[in-house]
Homo-oligomer: A and B are copies of this chain.
Amino acid sequence: MNTSHLECPKCAATYETEEIHHLCECGSPLLVRYDLDKVRETMSKEVVASRAPDLWRYRELLPVVDEANIVTMGEGMTPLLKLERLGSEIGMTNLYMKDEGIIPSGTFKARGSAVGVSRAKELGVKTLAMPTNGNAGGAWALYCAKAGIECVVVMPKDAPSIPRSECEIAGATFYLVDGLISDAGKIVAQAVKENQWYDASTLKEPYRIEGKKTMGLELAEQFGWEMPDVILYPTGGGVGIIGIYKALNELKEIGWIEGDLPRLVAVQATGCAPIVRAWEANEKESEFWDNAQTCAFGITVPKAIGDFLVLEAVYDTNGCAIAITDEETLAAEGLLASVEGAFVCPEGAACFAATQKLLADEWIKPDEKVVLLNTGCGIKYPETVESNPPLLQPGESLPKTQS
């Protein structure tokens, strides 16, 4: 309703929103632009506060024209939790986690698919296709099922297995590939071309990012429209960090927040850290990362199409990029569960490990307001936890050694 056009962040070309567009002619992703004067006039904090606790409460800043096209399962307004105990263990007084595990399909991918699928439905799409590291495929398959859109998914065979169940039960057409998401992406690109399917690959359609940006809108609202100092984000394709940056800039432009934006931190795994390498070299784009491998499977993205947008968000906010080992990530996952009761995904856990490092480096100060973005629930990654409990027979007593 308030969209004005699609814009290329690289060459500034513009496109109509009422047509299907994927990448710009120059090869860059496109971003949705709004008539922010109109948004300022038609949207109020009070009205937003009175709406249902889902991401559609920000509908004036979302691209769906006709509300009848909204495909929703109640996604959004995920909890913002203060990590009192864990913060105090590491000497921080204002440590928060936004828990994107509490959302349909158990990961933040629900946001991108809710908005992306709604817009695809509005544009009359019958079949869409995408490569995935698992969770996006599961979420898009489910939202497509609700929308009545055929969904074709290709995912690495080593991806966590639960999203396979999601694709299967949703009735998606899906394949495994004996390779990485980049291999899946090539297969999808070819199939899309041959079949004239709608390409729902990361940033190859402009609406997924609009769903992801609602994490930034919610953070602002949940903090009472005052910004935290630092947001740490596990970065694979990077749509979330680009989206949060976009959201905060839009909020600034309509006058809902003021001052410096939070420093945005792109957290990657040492086994796949193209953004970190680019940031350390002060480059504007990343290079393909060979032999990518990490337990935080969702961020195993050797070369992201939106890498230059991620880097822009980091540079522009005086943020940084940092890589975490799998050992550090798994240790952080254990700490979050055993101290805060939060069973998070490895990607989310990596953000806590990054916080510890940046605190030790004094890049983060102990009293700064710091937010970890946990992108999904740990129950989607049971294989990250080994467990061999004793087996008792009926009538047996518990071993006496217990306290």
Binding site for B on A (CB under 8 A): 49-50, 53-54, 71-74, 77-81, 85, 99, 101-106, 127, 142-148, 150, 152, 154, 157, 161-162, 164-171, 173-179, 183, 186-187, 190-191, 194-195, 333-334, 337-343, 377-380, 382, 384-387, 389-398, 402-403
Q: A104-B99, A145-B340 are in contact. Are A152 and B74 (CB under 8 A)?
A: no
CB distance from A332 to the nearest CB of B (A): 11
The answer to whether A164 and B395 touch across the interface, beta carbons within 8 angstroms, is: no
Stoichiometry (number of copies): 2
Tell whether, in the assembled complex, residue B343 and residue A169 are in contact, meaning their CB atoms are under 8 Å apart.
Answer: yes
User: Could you tell me if B78 and A74 are in contact, using CB atoms closer than 8 angstroms?
Assistant: yes
Q: Give the one of A143, A191, A339, A342 with max B CB within 10 A.
A: A342
Determine which of B80, B170, B398 lies in contact with A152 in the assembled complex, contact meaning CB atoms within 8 Å: B398
A50 cross-chain contacts in B, Cβ below 8 A: 49
* Whole-angstrom distance between the Cβ of A163 and the nearest chain B Cβ: 9
Say whether, besides A99-B74, A177-B394, A187-B392, A165 and B378 are in contact (CB < 8 Å).
yes
Contact A73 B99 (CB under 8 A): yes
Q: In the complex, what residue of chain B is closest to A398 when comparing beta carbons?
A: B191
Chain B residues within 8 Å of A105, by CB: 343, 379
Min CB–CB distance A280 → chain B (angstroms): 29
A79-B54, A85-B146, A394-B178 as given contacts; A377 in contact with B106, CB under 8 Å: yes
